[in-house]
Chain A
Amino acid sequence: MNIIQILFWFLSVVAIFSALMVITSKNPVYSVLWLIVTFFAISGHYILLNAQFLAIVNVIVYAGAIMVLFLFVIMLMNLNKETEPQKNRWLKMAGAVAGGCLLLVFVAALKGADLKDQEAMVNEGDIGLIKNLGKELFTTYVVPFEISSILFLSAMVGAVVIGKKE
């Protein structure tokens, strides 16, 4: 058990525990804070896989921008109280059973897959560095990149139009 495996298991446990806390917290603000912990754990996984660009983007975009937006909306609506109406117990149980069944199906499908000798490179390999990704992004994927800027523009206009008072 070397340091990389210890880090892998530690980050996995943190990610799964905080994801569980996201769906079990009564207070939406706590849910957002636990989701930020999850995103940081996933960023740690990216760093472990030597995908440094994605790790930084994940922290900036997800843990930074998107979560601030969520927190802002929750504060704006004054939802930070624990009076959320709950679904009844049977519906909750049915939801958990449905999710558990999906988990079972996925794990069973994984058992049948022939992946025994496939391994991911950890802590080495330079495909995740900005230099390589940038070269690929601005040569092969330059058209999707430009289209995504139009998507952002339309999303901004859409958000303003939807959020505007009549």
Chain B
Amino acid sequence: MEKKNNMPINNYILLSIALFCIGIVGVLTRRNAIIIFMCIELMLNAVNLLLVAFSKMHARAALLAGDVSGSAGTDGQLFVFFIMVVAAAEVSVGLAIIVMMYRNIHSVDVNFLNRLKH
């Protein structure tokens, strides 16, 4: 195995951390419910990227340890697949809730949703 075909895992971790924190900042600073929802998708994708990178890291470690079955690391990528499935279902229900909220209060501003406070 050549050295040049490997990427330090730290690079992927740092990239995922950056994307995840951008998502957090978006959730905390915006008031539009749809943009908050999009930032949650961004955070999910950051975690997906990290899972794929770790699965490739695991595959390489298994290869170096002499495992020839070649299936080490498939679990991580299937997890990503299931996360995408759940995210698709979540988006359909979440957007239905946002449409419902828009129909009731004629806005998607989350600051109007403070009835639990009173």
Contacts and interface: CB of A to CB of B under 8 A. Distances in A.
Contact of B21 (A15, A77, A102): A102
A96 B102 contact: no
Interface in A72-93: 73-74, 76-77, 79, 84-87, 91-92
Contacts of B82: 141, 144, 148
Contacts of A148: 82, 85-86
Interface in B53-100: 53-57, 59-61, 63, 70-75, 77-78, 80-82, 84-93, 95-100
Contact of A162 (B8, B54, B93): B93
B9 A115 contact: yes
Contacts of A156: 92
A70 B34 contact: yes
Nearest to B22: A19
B45 A62 contact: yes
* Chain A interface main SS type: helix
Given A35-B41, A54-B80, A87-B31, A120 B99 contact: no
B84 A121 contact: no
B55 A127 contact: yes
Interface string A26-67: 001001100100110010011001110110011001100110
A52 B70 CA distance: 16
A39 B38 CA distance: 11
Contacts of A123: 5
Interface centre among A19, A45, A87, A103 (most CB of B within 10 A): A19
A128 B77 CA distance: 7
A110 B19 CA distance: 15
B25 A96 contact: yes
Contact of A2 (B4, B13, B99): B4
Nearest to B38: A35
B29 interface: yes
Contacts of A107: 14, 17
A66 B41 contact: yes
Among A22, A46, A53: residue with most chain B CB under 10 A? A22
Contact of B78 (A42, A70, A94, A141): A141
A44 to B, nearest CB: 11
In the complex, the 7 A-B pairs of residues with the closest C-beta atoms, listed nearest first: A95-B28, A99-B25, A155-B89, A23-B26, A119-B6, A95-B29, A159-B96
7 contacts: A31-B35, A35-B38, A51-B77, A99-B22, A110-B13, A127-B77, A133-B81
